[in-house]
Structure 1
């Protein structure tokens, strides 16, 4: 408040000086005596009128050390309107005091006064900003800078990079010393952006980092496609510099670039997965204004399905999970991001057929996305009965309810581990695919399964484990030097599952394009590098041996079955198999019995009978 009063006093004095100076300039610094009286009549009203408009345009509410073009425009508006009122005032006063020989000012005086007012009022404010900025950038007198500035290289010389340079210069506390910019546009080489030179293209990154002693790199090209970004990141990795990145242009919602939006480069950036393009019309037809049920809605895939489904405005979203903590977090997130969404959280187990029937009877879902499952391979190998109860019998309960209550569409989340499975988890998921195809033959519901590989960052995946191991100083544990897996991001998987549901006719097993397989050892090295350490030196990698039921290589499709492309380039479909529903019903009875008895060996033997492609892979202890 005290600062505002000071500024009002300054403005009053400056306005008086501006008006007096305008008259002097108009008459070559020789003011006619008859205008002095008119000046005395005008100066107080002019100051009051201008101060009122300044207040109206909030010129005393702005924090002027952050002044920008918007504040200058406000100064122009205020001074312009004040001068219009001043002109009218001049005519009125001139008419009233004509007999006393008071004259109105020439129109040129008003023009000069307007120019001076804008320059002086606006100039003082921007001088204040420059003074504040300068004082922030310079250390206090008598104090020494204790921290050494980090030498920074910025990749990109476009709008985003230009804004980032200004932000970094404004935030001296970041302690960055920008050594240069990199851009593949050769016409920019040697040019300056806010005093920072463009030093070359991507092929010059390693050389520049070496010559300039670069310690940190920021990639500021938010509109670049994923493949180009991946190539640039791979070059930057060779420099051993700390990497940060501006998120993609779609993640920067307001179009502005600031320091808070910088993040570390992550594994998703290195994979180079392209953004999924969805056919919204197809999805709208089966989700918009419909009741959608997501089982396992608190899990990694289930929760992302809920986020993506919410965008398509269902009439009601039902989020079902046995574990209340995770599903509560999803509920709070959706409450914040989609307050208009009608949603219900249901705490229930898919193993409980009576509860499932109650849910379907009360809410009558139109579409069911079935993501509830036990998925940890080694844990399920040790607890095969639980895998059968949850993955097979639980899924059977949901399939049965969909048929009984005339659900329009059922989408099963499957896995690459269901292909020629060597572990109990993969075998249960393969049997789920068989159940989906059997139910599709006898029910009006359209049953489909969507098969994909590992998703980055999901609960229990290698990425969170590696991050914890790196945080503890290592070692990072990998089961085998040659083990590889297919990977995609959680949002990509969820979006493609929803898209597959839109193009399904029933009975299909859709296979998502997972790209090329990635060696887990390479993934570990990349993550160590991105965390600022040297692999095998500062953080060791240890190989622990394949776990029970674990494959060296994963498969996404049956070798003997060709895939057919669909209307979406990342979704393929297997030729449907005809499975007898009686075979399924009889098998369920047998699975119920062996899982109840708890005989692990009998469970494994029954699974080998029911899933022809399942080959049990014993570990060394079991073999002995």
Structure 2
């Protein structure tokens, strides 16, 4: 009501002001009565139009160009209707034509000016009052930086931006919203020292990841507190505002540029089909499910052994992916009868098999369970998929399957052999995808280091030279989908993992990100654990590696076994597992995975296609 009264007063002032300007501020007595008598017609009409155009639904604090457009439209309509009303109402007052032109100009000026002045007052109130604002440098002077400055002023944030940096020479030396562009991005640390600034905001959502990584590392190494604006994808889709700053994370420093997916191909492949994901509650399985859900499949079946993990995933998906038909199955891939029933009930065209035991030292202590789950489980589930007529079966594998030294790695290499042996012309197509460590996955080194830092240390590293490949969980899941789309059957795909990272360097980086150092939280070396390597290989020296149409995917050619051979080997493995021969089963699996196993010939091998998954 206050705003409405304000505009009514403005309408009065504009109408009388138009008369005053028309007569050079000396209004003749003859026109005074006419100016006042017409107010009772003009002002109510204008206020009614303003109301209908929604001028009182907005907030002056956020007044912007759309509000000005609404004012222009409303005043424009009023400028047309006012003379019409005066004529139709047969009002005998003398209204000069220049008044009818001047009035709307004054209205637009007064109404929009008051709103913008109020916004400026609100935005600058904190800085004018000399509050305890923290000085900060902003890397970037483009659109994101412009939006960030507006957002910081709008919300009254306790940041005082003292300068911007950008590599565009045409911007350097200029001002953006009154803030100077001091120099290039590589000068950030020098400017921080010169100005005594300890806080930096990265406003470069569209810049290549290498640029953001270089800046982030420079700031972290210099002991600067770094925050970053949200990613470009989140900003474009309106999921978050540019002012929703977050602390620099490990993904920002170790991650890479976004994966370029064949979105149209994936939409055509996934959209009309029923898709099933095993191990859906795990790090990779759940991210695979999220990425698949983006393409809105006809039905998404999520299978998981852990009730709690599946419950958590269900809470997320039912809130986030409305409109997708979801099916939730608690079950074990080793249960052949259940797998047959699930596959026959839902008839998935595509299966992503992410269910596996993956923790290397833990599996060294439980080799029989690693082999039962990762090998026999894949065999059981794979044959059930063949029987159910699944079009494509994508196995999530690991770089630890290359010349394995652990039972976990051996079990995943044998799972690859199982999938390849199940390949039949015209039948289910089996594709395996290998990749290394993923940042932040459950049981991985990153959450362990984070927990150790939070508890005050020490950080435990097995060996100063141990090195691993890392990629983000979303990147791994996206490339698994892309490999699944490209695979014709029988292939092993390898993801481009980038450069390897020393685990001790990762620990030091996490310390700096947390604002700590080795004097406060020491790094302790504990020795390599059973089954661990110093370095992981992405393929064996004997393997053939060839490129694919996608720059981050490679095709690996490894020796294979036929179905009859694999059937005999798996019966041998099953016998060892049932006998509880843990040491023997482990040695047998490692020897076979490394290509040197010799099993006794079985004169009467089982008929491969006649064996039920339940057996």
TM, length-normalised to structure 2: 0.92
> In the TM superposition, what is the alpha-carbon distance from 1:215 to its structure 2 partner?
0.9
Q: Deviations for 1:323-348, whole angstroms, at most 9, x for unmatched residues?
A: 12222332333333321211211111
Match of 1:454 among 432, 437, 444: 437
Match of 1:150 among 134, 144, 155: 134
Matched, 1:494 2:481: no
Show the counterpart of 1:63.
59
Q: Equivalent residue of 1:278, what SS?
A: coil
Q: Equivalent residue of 2:397, what SS?
A: strand
Show the counterpart of 1:590.
572
Matched, 1:205 2:205: no
Q: Deviations for 1:70-123, whole angstroms, at most 9, x for unmatched residues?
A: 223322222222222211122235xx46xxxx4431211111111222222333
User: Aligned ranges for residues 14-413 of structure 1 at < 5 Å?
Assistant: 14-93=10-89, 96=90, 102-139=92-129, 148-172=132-156, 174-254=157-237, 258=241, 260-413=243-396
258-267 or 461-470: bigger deviation: 258-267
Show the counterpart of 2:449.
466
Matched-pair contact (CA < 8 Å) for 1:220–1:246: yes
Counterpart Cα distance in 2 of 1:383 and 1:443:
38
Counterpart Cα distance in 2 of 1:170 and 1:253:
20
Counterpart Cα distance in 2 of 1:474 and 1:526:
15
TM, length-normalised to structure 1: 0.91
Q: Deviations for 1:146-188, whole angstroms, at most 9, x for unmatched residues?
A: xx5422110011111122122223333x322222111111222
Structure 2 residue runs without a partner (length 5+) = 598-615
Show the counterpart of 1:547.
529
**Stretches (4+) displaced over 6 A:** none
CA distance 1:602–1:288, change in 2 (3 Å)? same
Number of equivalences: 597
Matched-pair contact (CA < 8 Å) for 2:234–2:240: no
Matched-pair contact (CA < 8 Å) for 1:229–1:272: no
CA distance 1:136–1:74, change in 2 (3 Å)? farther
Show the counterpart of 2:491.
508
Counterpart Cα distance in 2 of 1:449 and 1:61:
57
Counterpart Cα distance in 2 of 1:136 and 1:408:
63
Q: Cα RMSD (Å) of the superposition?
A: 2.2
Q: Deviations for 1:416-465, whole angstroms, at most 9, x for unmatched residues?
A: 01111111111111111111121115772111211111111111111111
Counterpart Cα distance in 1 of 2:435 and 2:60:
55
380-389 or 326-335: bigger deviation: 326-335
> In the TM superposition, what is the alpha-carbon distance from 1:137 to its structure 2 partner?
4.3
Q: Deviations for 1:392-431, whole angstroms, at most 9, x for unmatched residues?
A: 1111111111222221111111100111111111111111
Matched-pair contact (CA < 8 Å) for 1:587–1:610: no
Counterpart Cα distance in 1 of 2:488 and 2:57:
62
Q: Deviations for 1:108-144, whole angstroms, at most 9, x for unmatched residues?
A: 11111112222223333333333434444455xxxx9
CA distance 1:135–1:608, change in 2 (3 Å)? closer
